[in-house]
Amino acid sequence: MSNEILLEAGTNEMELLVFHLGTTPFGINVAKVREIVQRPKTITIPHSPMAVEGSFRLRERVLTLLNLGRYFTMEGEKTRAGEGMIIVVEFNKVTCGVLVDSVERIYRLRWNQIEPPSQYLVGMSVPITGVVKVADEIVQIADFETIVGKILGMQSATMPDVDPQERMREEFAEARIVLADDSHILRNNLVNILRQAGFENITVCNDGQEVWDMMQLHKEEADGPCDLVLTDIEMPRMDGLHLTRRIKNDPALKDIPVILFSSLITEDNRRKGISVGADAQVSKPDSHKMIEFIRQFLRKRWTVPSGGSCSAVPE
Protein backbone atom coordinates (compact mmCIF):
# COMPACT_ATOMS: atom_id res chain seq x y z
CA MET A 1 0.00 0.00 0.00
CA SER A 2 1.17 3.55 -0.62
CA ASN A 3 2.98 5.40 2.16
CA GLU A 4 0.77 8.39 1.32
CA ILE A 5 -1.82 7.09 3.77
CA LEU A 6 0.57 7.66 6.70
CA LEU A 7 -0.79 10.35 9.00
CA GLU A 8 0.93 13.18 10.82
CA ALA A 9 2.13 12.03 14.23
CA GLY A 10 0.24 12.83 17.40
CA THR A 11 -3.05 14.01 15.85
CA ASN A 12 -5.03 11.11 17.40
CA GLU A 13 -6.11 10.00 13.93
CA MET A 14 -5.95 6.59 12.27
CA GLU A 15 -6.79 4.89 8.98
CA LEU A 16 -9.14 1.91 9.33
CA LEU A 17 -9.35 -0.72 6.60
CA VAL A 18 -12.81 -2.32 6.67
CA PHE A 19 -13.20 -5.88 5.39
CA HIS A 20 -15.85 -8.57 5.64
CA LEU A 21 -16.04 -12.13 6.90
CA GLY A 22 -19.22 -13.24 5.19
CA THR A 23 -21.47 -10.23 5.68
CA THR A 24 -19.95 -9.14 9.00
CA PRO A 25 -17.67 -6.06 8.88
CA PHE A 26 -14.36 -5.99 10.72
CA GLY A 27 -11.50 -3.50 10.76
CA ILE A 28 -7.71 -3.34 10.97
CA ASN A 29 -5.42 -0.38 11.47
CA VAL A 30 -3.86 0.46 8.10
CA ALA A 31 -0.51 0.89 9.87
CA LYS A 32 -0.40 -2.92 10.05
CA VAL A 33 -1.28 -3.46 6.38
CA ARG A 34 1.40 -3.77 3.70
CA GLU A 35 -0.82 -4.51 0.70
CA ILE A 36 -4.00 -6.23 -0.50
CA VAL A 37 -3.85 -8.93 -3.18
CA GLN A 38 -6.14 -11.37 -4.93
CA ARG A 39 -6.13 -14.87 -3.52
CA PRO A 40 -3.44 -16.86 -5.34
CA LYS A 41 -2.84 -20.60 -5.40
CA THR A 42 -1.88 -21.85 -1.96
CA ILE A 43 0.13 -24.84 -0.79
CA THR A 44 -1.19 -26.86 2.12
CA ILE A 45 1.11 -27.01 5.16
CA PRO A 46 1.02 -30.49 6.79
CA HIS A 47 -0.05 -30.71 10.46
CA SER A 48 -0.77 -26.98 10.58
CA PRO A 49 -3.49 -25.41 12.79
CA MET A 50 -7.01 -25.33 11.34
CA ALA A 51 -6.86 -21.56 10.87
CA VAL A 52 -3.75 -21.85 8.64
CA GLU A 53 -4.92 -21.98 5.04
CA GLY A 54 -1.43 -22.76 3.74
CA SER A 55 1.41 -20.77 2.23
CA PHE A 56 1.55 -18.61 -0.90
CA ARG A 57 4.15 -16.81 -2.96
CA LEU A 58 4.20 -13.03 -2.97
CA ARG A 59 6.86 -12.01 -5.46
CA GLU A 60 10.17 -13.20 -3.95
CA ARG A 61 8.70 -14.25 -0.58
CA VAL A 62 6.71 -17.25 0.62
CA LEU A 63 4.22 -16.24 3.30
CA THR A 64 1.88 -18.11 5.63
CA LEU A 65 -1.81 -17.57 4.87
CA LEU A 66 -4.23 -17.42 7.81
CA ASN A 67 -7.97 -17.97 7.33
CA LEU A 68 -9.54 -15.40 9.67
CA GLY A 69 -13.10 -16.57 9.04
CA ARG A 70 -12.18 -20.10 10.02
CA TYR A 71 -10.48 -18.80 13.18
CA PHE A 72 -13.66 -16.94 14.14
CA THR A 73 -15.84 -19.92 13.01
CA MET A 74 -17.65 -17.60 10.61
CA GLU A 75 -16.05 -18.43 7.27
CA GLY A 76 -17.90 -16.84 4.37
CA GLU A 77 -19.04 -18.30 1.07
CA LYS A 78 -16.26 -16.71 -0.97
CA THR A 79 -13.40 -18.11 1.09
CA ARG A 80 -15.07 -21.54 1.21
CA ALA A 81 -15.35 -21.41 -2.58
CA GLY A 82 -11.63 -20.74 -3.01
CA GLU A 83 -12.07 -16.99 -3.59
CA GLY A 84 -11.66 -13.98 -1.32
CA MET A 85 -8.94 -11.38 -0.78
CA ILE A 86 -5.65 -11.46 1.10
CA ILE A 87 -4.62 -8.66 3.44
CA VAL A 88 -0.84 -8.80 3.86
CA VAL A 89 -0.07 -7.65 7.41
CA GLU A 90 3.22 -6.84 9.10
CA PHE A 91 3.77 -6.24 12.81
CA ASN A 92 5.77 -7.72 15.69
CA LYS A 93 8.46 -8.42 13.07
CA VAL A 94 6.13 -10.93 11.38
CA THR A 95 4.67 -10.74 7.87
CA CYS A 96 1.80 -13.00 6.80
CA GLY A 97 -1.38 -13.05 4.72
CA VAL A 98 -4.89 -12.92 6.18
CA LEU A 99 -7.68 -14.38 4.06
CA VAL A 100 -11.03 -12.53 4.15
CA ASP A 101 -14.15 -12.59 1.98
CA SER A 102 -13.98 -9.02 0.73
CA VAL A 103 -12.30 -5.68 1.35
CA GLU A 104 -14.45 -2.56 1.44
CA ARG A 105 -12.41 0.64 1.79
CA ILE A 106 -10.24 2.77 4.07
CA TYR A 107 -11.83 5.26 6.48
CA ARG A 108 -9.99 8.10 8.17
CA LEU A 109 -11.10 8.34 11.80
CA ARG A 110 -10.15 9.82 15.12
CA TRP A 111 -9.29 7.42 17.91
CA ASN A 112 -11.91 9.04 20.14
CA GLN A 113 -14.58 7.76 17.71
CA ILE A 114 -13.59 4.20 18.60
CA GLU A 115 -15.17 2.68 21.69
CA PRO A 116 -13.53 -0.01 23.81
CA PRO A 117 -15.16 -3.47 23.64
CA SER A 118 -17.84 -4.24 26.19
CA GLN A 119 -16.89 -5.89 29.47
CA TYR A 120 -18.88 -8.89 28.25
CA LEU A 121 -16.47 -9.37 25.34
CA VAL A 122 -13.46 -8.68 27.56
CA GLY A 123 -14.66 -11.27 30.06
CA MET A 124 -14.89 -13.88 27.31
CA SER A 125 -11.39 -12.96 26.01
CA VAL A 126 -12.82 -12.19 22.56
CA PRO A 127 -9.95 -10.77 20.42
CA ILE A 128 -11.65 -7.45 19.68
CA THR A 129 -9.97 -4.19 20.72
CA GLY A 130 -12.68 -1.71 19.76
CA VAL A 131 -15.87 -0.96 17.88
CA VAL A 132 -16.78 1.99 15.68
CA LYS A 133 -19.71 3.02 13.49
CA VAL A 134 -18.79 3.80 9.87
CA ALA A 135 -21.13 4.07 6.90
CA ASP A 136 -24.09 2.91 9.05
CA GLU A 137 -22.27 -0.29 10.02
CA ILE A 138 -20.90 -1.35 13.39
CA VAL A 139 -17.30 -2.39 12.69
CA GLN A 140 -15.37 -4.54 15.15
CA ILE A 141 -11.62 -3.96 15.24
CA ALA A 142 -9.89 -7.33 15.44
CA ASP A 143 -6.98 -7.84 17.85
CA PHE A 144 -4.57 -9.09 15.19
CA GLU A 145 -1.63 -9.25 17.59
CA THR A 146 -3.43 -11.80 19.75
CA ILE A 147 -4.98 -13.67 16.80
CA VAL A 148 -1.76 -14.10 14.84
CA GLY A 149 0.14 -14.92 18.01
CA LYS A 150 -2.28 -17.69 18.97
CA ILE A 151 -2.45 -19.22 15.50
CA LEU A 152 1.31 -19.19 14.93
CA GLY A 153 2.24 -19.96 18.53
CA MET A 154 3.96 -16.62 19.11
CA GLN A 155 3.91 -14.19 22.01
CA SER A 156 3.45 -10.43 21.78
CA ALA A 157 5.61 -9.94 24.85
CA THR A 158 8.00 -12.53 26.22
CA MET A 159 8.99 -13.00 29.85
CA PRO A 160 12.61 -11.91 30.32
CA ASP A 161 15.00 -14.15 32.23
CA VAL A 162 15.44 -12.67 35.70
CA ASP A 163 17.98 -13.88 38.24
CA PRO A 164 16.08 -14.45 41.53
CA GLN A 165 18.80 -12.56 43.40
CA GLU A 166 18.52 -9.68 40.95
CA ARG A 167 14.75 -9.76 41.48
CA MET A 168 15.25 -9.48 45.26
CA ARG A 169 17.68 -6.58 44.81
CA GLU A 170 15.37 -4.65 42.50
CA GLU A 171 15.71 -1.06 43.70
CA PHE A 172 12.71 0.25 41.79
CA ALA A 173 9.94 -1.87 43.31
CA GLU A 174 8.10 1.26 44.48
CA ALA A 175 8.60 3.26 41.28
CA ARG A 176 5.22 4.29 39.88
CA ILE A 177 4.79 2.90 36.37
CA VAL A 178 1.70 3.65 34.31
CA LEU A 179 0.91 1.00 31.70
CA ALA A 180 -1.54 1.61 28.83
CA ASP A 181 -2.65 -1.06 26.37
CA ASP A 182 -6.10 -1.65 24.89
CA SER A 183 -5.75 -5.44 24.73
CA HIS A 184 -6.66 -6.97 28.09
CA ILE A 185 -4.69 -10.09 27.14
CA LEU A 186 -1.51 -8.11 26.50
CA ARG A 187 -2.08 -5.91 29.55
CA ASN A 188 -2.16 -8.95 31.81
CA ASN A 189 0.94 -10.35 30.14
CA LEU A 190 2.83 -7.09 30.55
CA VAL A 191 1.84 -6.72 34.21
CA ASN A 192 3.24 -10.20 34.87
CA ILE A 193 6.46 -9.31 33.04
CA LEU A 194 6.90 -6.06 34.98
CA ARG A 195 6.28 -7.75 38.32
CA GLN A 196 8.64 -10.57 37.44
CA ALA A 197 11.27 -7.90 36.76
CA GLY A 198 10.70 -6.35 40.19
CA PHE A 199 8.26 -3.51 39.51
CA GLU A 200 5.33 -3.65 41.93
CA ASN A 201 3.67 -0.23 41.75
CA ILE A 202 1.86 -0.49 38.40
CA THR A 203 -1.21 1.50 37.37
CA VAL A 204 -3.01 -0.19 34.49
CA CYS A 205 -5.01 1.87 31.97
CA ASN A 206 -7.13 0.77 29.01
CA ASP A 207 -6.18 3.64 26.70
CA GLY A 208 -4.36 6.95 26.43
CA GLN A 209 -7.34 9.01 27.54
CA GLU A 210 -7.43 7.15 30.85
CA VAL A 211 -3.72 7.85 31.34
CA TRP A 212 -4.11 11.52 30.48
CA ASP A 213 -7.07 12.00 32.85
CA MET A 214 -5.12 10.38 35.70
CA MET A 215 -2.03 12.51 35.04
CA GLN A 216 -4.06 15.72 34.96
CA LEU A 217 -5.70 14.79 38.25
CA HIS A 218 -2.39 14.24 40.05
CA LYS A 219 0.12 16.43 38.21
CA GLU A 220 0.10 19.20 40.85
CA GLU A 221 1.09 16.80 43.62
CA ALA A 222 4.61 17.17 45.02
CA ASP A 223 5.96 13.99 43.42
CA GLY A 224 3.79 14.22 40.29
CA PRO A 225 1.44 11.55 38.91
CA CYS A 226 4.01 8.82 38.13
CA ASP A 227 7.65 8.06 37.41
CA LEU A 228 7.32 6.51 33.94
CA VAL A 229 4.70 5.82 31.25
CA LEU A 230 4.76 2.63 29.18
CA THR A 231 2.22 2.79 26.39
CA ASP A 232 1.00 1.01 23.29
CA ILE A 233 0.40 3.13 20.18
CA GLU A 234 -2.99 2.09 18.79
CA MET A 235 -5.74 2.47 21.40
CA PRO A 236 -9.37 3.67 21.40
CA ARG A 237 -10.18 7.23 22.48
CA MET A 238 -6.53 8.41 22.55
CA ASP A 239 -3.58 6.69 20.92
CA GLY A 240 -0.07 6.47 22.32
CA LEU A 241 1.45 9.05 19.96
CA HIS A 242 -1.13 11.69 20.87
CA LEU A 243 -0.73 10.85 24.56
CA THR A 244 3.05 11.26 24.27
CA ARG A 245 2.73 14.60 22.52
CA ARG A 246 0.38 15.92 25.21
CA ILE A 247 2.67 14.77 28.03
CA LYS A 248 5.74 16.33 26.42
CA ASN A 249 3.90 19.61 25.72
CA ASP A 250 2.80 19.94 29.36
CA PRO A 251 5.45 21.79 31.44
CA ALA A 252 4.45 19.89 34.58
CA LEU A 253 4.72 16.46 32.91
CA LYS A 254 7.35 16.78 30.17
CA ASP A 255 10.19 15.27 32.23
CA ILE A 256 8.31 11.99 32.82
CA PRO A 257 9.86 9.32 30.55
CA VAL A 258 7.51 7.82 27.97
CA ILE A 259 8.31 4.45 26.36
CA LEU A 260 6.33 3.31 23.32
CA PHE A 261 5.98 -0.50 23.38
CA SER A 262 4.13 -1.51 20.26
CA SER A 263 3.90 -3.89 17.34
CA LEU A 264 3.95 -0.80 15.09
CA ILE A 265 7.57 0.31 15.61
CA THR A 266 8.41 0.40 11.90
CA GLU A 267 10.89 2.87 10.43
CA ASP A 268 8.08 5.30 9.50
CA ASN A 269 6.41 5.05 12.90
CA ARG A 270 9.76 5.36 14.68
CA ARG A 271 10.12 8.78 13.08
CA LYS A 272 6.65 9.63 14.35
CA GLY A 273 7.59 8.57 17.87
CA ILE A 274 10.67 10.79 17.77
CA SER A 275 8.61 13.74 16.50
CA VAL A 276 6.20 13.59 19.46
CA GLY A 277 9.03 13.31 21.99
CA ALA A 278 9.01 9.63 23.00
CA ASP A 279 12.03 8.83 25.17
CA ALA A 280 12.32 5.28 23.78
CA GLN A 281 10.53 2.97 21.37
CA VAL A 282 10.53 -0.82 21.65
CA SER A 283 8.98 -3.26 19.21
CA LYS A 284 6.94 -6.10 20.66
CA PRO A 285 7.80 -8.73 21.74
CA ASP A 286 11.21 -7.45 22.93
CA SER A 287 10.37 -7.08 26.62
CA HIS A 288 14.07 -7.53 27.49
CA LYS A 289 14.86 -4.17 25.88
CA MET A 290 11.70 -2.66 27.41
CA ILE A 291 12.89 -3.60 30.93
CA GLU A 292 16.37 -2.24 30.18
CA PHE A 293 14.92 1.13 29.14
CA ILE A 294 12.66 1.29 32.21
CA ARG A 295 15.60 0.72 34.55
CA GLN A 296 17.75 3.19 32.61
CA PHE A 297 15.19 6.00 32.89
CA LEU A 298 14.32 5.29 36.51
CA ARG A 299 18.00 5.47 37.49
CA LYS A 300 17.99 9.05 36.25
CA ARG A 301 15.04 9.87 38.51
CA TRP A 302 15.70 7.71 41.58
CA THR A 303 18.50 7.08 44.01
CA VAL A 304 18.95 4.28 46.51
CA PRO A 305 20.03 5.52 49.98
CA SER A 306 22.28 3.37 52.14
CA GLY A 307 19.22 2.23 54.14
CA GLY A 308 18.01 0.33 51.06
CA SER A 309 14.71 2.04 50.30
CA CYS A 310 14.34 4.19 47.21
CA SER A 311 13.18 7.78 47.03
CA ALA A 312 12.52 10.22 44.24
CA VAL A 313 15.07 12.94 43.55
CA PRO A 314 14.78 15.95 41.24
CA GLU A 315 16.61 15.83 37.97
CA 54 from centre of chain:
26
Q: Which amino acid is at 212?
A: W
For the chain, count helices (H), then strands (E): 10, 17
pLDDT at residue 302 in the model: 66
Cis peptide bond N-terminal to 285, omega within 30: yes
The rounded distance, in Å, linking the Cα atoms of 108 and 275 is 21
pLDDT at residue 307 in the model: 42
**pLDDT tens by residue, the chain, 315 residues:** 444 444 566 788 999 999 999 999 999 999 899 999 999 999 999 999 999 999 999 999 999 999 999 999 999 999 999 999 999 999 888 899 999 999 999 999 999 999 988 776 666 678 888 999 998 899 999 999 889 988 988 655 444 555 544 444 456 778 999 999 988 888 888 999 999 898 999 999 999 999 999 999 998 998 899 999 999 998 999 999 999 999 999 999 999 999 999 887 777 778 889 999 999 999 887 888 999 999 999 988 765 443 443 444 333
Answering whether pTM is above 0.85, one says: no
- Burial string for 243-252 (b: 16+ CB within 10 Å, else e) reads bbbbbbeeee
- What structural domains does the chain harbor? 3-152 (2.40.50.180), 164-312 (3.40.50.2300)
